[in-house]
Amino acid sequence: MHNIWQQQLKQALSGRTSEKLRQHPDFSHAGDGLFKTVITDEVNTAIKESSQPHVLLNQFLPINRETNIHPDFNQDPVGDHNALAQQGIIHKYHGRVLLVASGSCAVNCRYCFRRHFPYQKQLASRRNWQAVVSYLHNHPEVHEVILSGGDPLTLTTQSLTELTDRLIDLPHIKTLRIHSRMVTVLPDRIDGEFLNWLDALPWRKVLVTHINHADELTHKAMGSLHRLKQHSITLLNQSVLLKNVNDDADTLINLSHKLFDEGVLPYYLHLFDRVQNAAHFEVSLSRAQRIYARMRSQLPGYLLPKLVKEEAGEHSKTPLI
Ligand code: SF4
């Protein structure tokens, strides 16, 4: 039997909750065909309640410009393919590995740098969890496992439990990090069963949310952050600097303050990754640096996310300041 969040996810994936977007005058069937439109009811609510609905809409609405092909953009802008250590394991940086734990998300963000990722072939799914454990066993220098995707919280808590049960005997694992957008786009995912799972884990726990604009923090989303905070999980946020979404300093300064109000520290502000079919989101480096300089002049250091770019083949993210 499905619980509430699973029913909501099912509705989003079936397209039922994207009806409004499909009626929008800028909606493009061609864009939708390139990367399916997926949005949740919670995001529909956030759009309705926002005084600047376009800042949310632009993140999820497929438009004709997605069909433009740019020679300087590609399908794997951050070099995931070359960093695949084995199926579903991306090992780029020292001491941590990323598991592509799920190929789906509750929303499809039009600017996603993994919008072309071959999830069918490259998933750390239940079928190859044993291979994941063997890989980690052979890499005692790895102390942090990152669950990513797609969105790893589209997996049921039962599946997450089965996965983490397999990792428990690896003494060098000290931290579990989860990258998820569910906290804001499908806040009912943070339910009692999930929190019990977190509580039972023996490691340090970090959840990195993905919030680009303060209007994504609906009443329910703030509730889910509050529940997580009560369970002693470190909460960080990463944003992507996106044209016509959050490309001005006041918007990002406001976001940092709002995140802090909810117990979340701003972690990264990513320069847009040059993924094919999403070039219209790009903000130039010089403009990004101007925006960032103003953020730096207005925010205390602990509320200033690091402005970075992920470059294929590099052993860490590149700071842009
Ligand atoms: S939630 Fe994350 S992985 Fe999923 S489409 Fe959005 S940016 Fe990509």
Q: What is the mean pLDDT of residues 98-112?
A: 97
Report whether pLDDT(120) > 80: yes
Residue to mutate (ligand 1; options 108, 119, 245; most atoms within 8 A of CB):
108
Instruction: Return the ligand 1 atom nearest residue 185 CA.
Output: 1
190 alpha carbon – ligand 1 mean position (Å): 18
Task: Report if residue 36 sits inside a domain.
Answer: no
Taking residues 172-201, what's their average pLDDT? 98
Mutate-to-test residue for ligand 1 from 105, 180, 268, highest number of ligand atoms within 8 A of CB = 105
Residue 4 placed within a domain? no
Q: What is the CATH number of the domain that holds 248?
A: 3.20.20.70
Ligand 1 binding pocket includes 88 (Cβ within 6 Å): no
The pLDDT of residue 51 is 95
- Report whether pLDDT(222) > 80: yes
Q: Is residue 82 part of a domain?
A: yes
Q: What's the gap in Å between 180 CA and the centre of ligand 1?
A: 8
Distance 59 CA to ligand 1 centre (A): 10
114 lines ligand 1 (CB under 6 A): yes
- 105 is an annotated ligand-binding site residue: yes
Q: Is 49 inside any structural domain?
A: no
Q: What is the pLDDT of residues 265-289, one digit of tens each?
A: 999 999 999 999 999 999 999 999 9
Q: Is residue 139 part of a domain?
A: yes
Q: 1 pLDDT exceeds 90?
A: no
Q: Is the Cα torsion angle 10, 15, 16, 18 positive or negative in sign?
A: positive
- Cβ of 150 closer than 6 Å to ligand 1, yes or no, is yes
> What is the atom index within ligand 1 of the atom nearest the CA of 113?
8
Looking at residue 2, its pLDDT comes to 77
Is residue 244 domain-resident?
A: yes
pLDDT at position 110 over 80: yes
* 135 domain residue, yes or no: yes
Under the banding of pLDDT at 50, 70 and 90, the label for residue 304 is very high
pLDDT tens digit string along 145-168?
999 999 999 999 999 999 999 999
Return the ligand 1 atom nearest residue 148 CA.
3
Structural domain range at position 153: 72-319
Q: Give the per-residue pLDDT at 306.
A: 98
Domain contains 28: no
Total tally of structural domains belonging to the chain: 1
